[in-house]
Structure 1
């Protein structure tokens, strides 16, 4: 029959025949074909999945390598930042110590020159005040007599005031200070000034005599010197050597007679000898009859002019 087909199976027991309808045959063929296609499709899917897995693994490895590289770079950056932090912290600590030291130094300078510290002001302003105040006082200490007139201090033989003259034996008012010394010991100017007189002065009994004319009406006198090192009309600076100790004129031995006067009025030289930056204000109460206020104002105006000129120069 056309609609059937037969399958014969032979074994040791003989042969067996099985008859099937053609529809079953077709179904079996389609089923086998389906299985083949299914296996082929599964194999293709497995191949594609395997290929994608390889790609994904490759990308994973690349991503992992990139992550590890970035992690290592971040570690290095962190180490550098940490090192930079320590360096900056060290610099900051050093700057803080320097600022503290400078502040203490500034306070010391303010105390030294008698300026009341104002910590609310910026440091630049405080420094400027110190500079200007120091300049004012320095000008005063250069132009007005101060300090000892001898290069080698060996004591005082006679002070300012009443005494018995060592040569005449008469009681008289001693208008200066006599400094002991050896012939040839240096005599120095106690302030900037012009040599008003330099020569032998027989009438006064001071022998070789130098008179210096200073600013603001002050004058100093140096007597009994063995040698004069300046001439009349010359300008001398504070601390400059102007002569040598001697025993010329009415003198009982080597010494220097030193006087300080203001507008032709003799003053006790002792406060001027003791006058220095550390006790700057003390002289204003110890020496009467000198218009210290107006003198200070005049110096302040000079300093202000200097400050103005410096400011104009900075602007240019």
Structure 2
């Protein structure tokens, strides 16, 4: 029995004996060892898999956290962009309204100063044309007589042309316009210029008289004043107070005698009195004998020269 071994199994029914050879014992030991190793290996694999699952879970949670963080940032960025978009849209709407308003204003100005609008031109170019054209016309209206010579208009007592002289009673050509007024009412210069004469002129019958020499050969005359507020050689601006209405000289009562002349030729003052930006071109049709074309070209060249000088100054 050296090469055998016996396994005894006992239960309530008694004991049973099983006898095996020694070789079978070794096989059994190998089987038991294999099962043990298999179980140990399985346990190790299960432990490793469990660690991998834990790592994967941690990575998943980290990824989810990063995703939530990125999502929150994206939402925040989206909301910021949405707010910025609304802001830009509001600004764009306002700019569009401003451009529309500017376009309408430009059209109004272009109509006012007689410039034909170019719809395809840039707004900046149209503004420049309006500015230059307006500046040219303003220079003309500043330097050439226009508007009324009285501060407070109270009507006209005698117009330009043939009439019966109120004092002499003779029929004579009246070379100006007589404005009604009270003694002391203000008299203003109708254009910028230099006082050529300021004093009492007995020979002409105009009494206290002022003659202003303007650019381009124009002159204006103001007669019968009660008081002179300027002196010969003084430079005056358009609209400046130069004297007061009176009845000096050959006069039947307080009034202002006003004349406009071009190179010693007396002109009807009415077209000059009605001359402004709105009716700018009318004077060229009504007043003959004045070289309006060359005069306008001279003013235009003058304005463009000033513009070039300003551009050169800005470049420096």
TM superposition score category, shorter chain reference: over 0.9
CA 1:148–1:4 in 2, change beyond 3 Å: closer, same or farther? same
Unmatched 5+ stretches in structure 1: none
Q: How does 1:151-300 map to 2 (within 5 A)?
A: 151-300=151-300
CA–CA separation in structure 2 for the residues paired with 1:285 and 1:195: 29
Give the 4+ runs in structure 1 shifted more than 6 A.
Answer: none
- 1:196 match: secondary structure: strand
- 2:147 match: secondary structure: coil
Unmatched 5+ stretches in structure 2: none
Q: 1:143: Cα distance to partner?
A: 1.1
CA 1:277–1:13 in 2, change beyond 3 Å: closer, same or farther? closer
CA–CA separation in structure 1 for the residues paired with 2:2 and 2:139: 144
CA–CA separation in structure 2 for the residues paired with 1:14 and 1:264: 163
CA–CA separation in structure 1 for the residues paired with 2:14 and 2:251: 174
CA–CA separation in structure 2 for the residues paired with 1:238 and 1:15: 145
Q: How many aligned residue pairs are there?
A: 316
Q: 1:217: Cα distance to partner?
A: 1.4
CA–CA separation in structure 2 for the residues paired with 1:189 and 1:283: 19
TM-score, normalised to structure 2's length? 0.96
Q: 1:15: Cα distance to partner?
A: 4.7
Q: 1:204: Cα distance to partner?
A: 1.4
> Considering only aligned residues, what root-mean-square deviation do their CA atoms show, in Å?
1.5
CA–CA separation in structure 2 for the residues paired with 1:313 and 1:92: 34
CA 1:17–1:190 in 2, change beyond 3 Å: closer, same or farther? closer
Q: 1:14: Cα distance to partner?
A: 5.3
Q: 1:144: Cα distance to partner?
A: 0.9
- 2:278 match: secondary structure: helix
| 1:102 pairs with 2:105 | no
CA 1:21–1:290 in 2, change beyond 3 Å: closer, same or farther? same
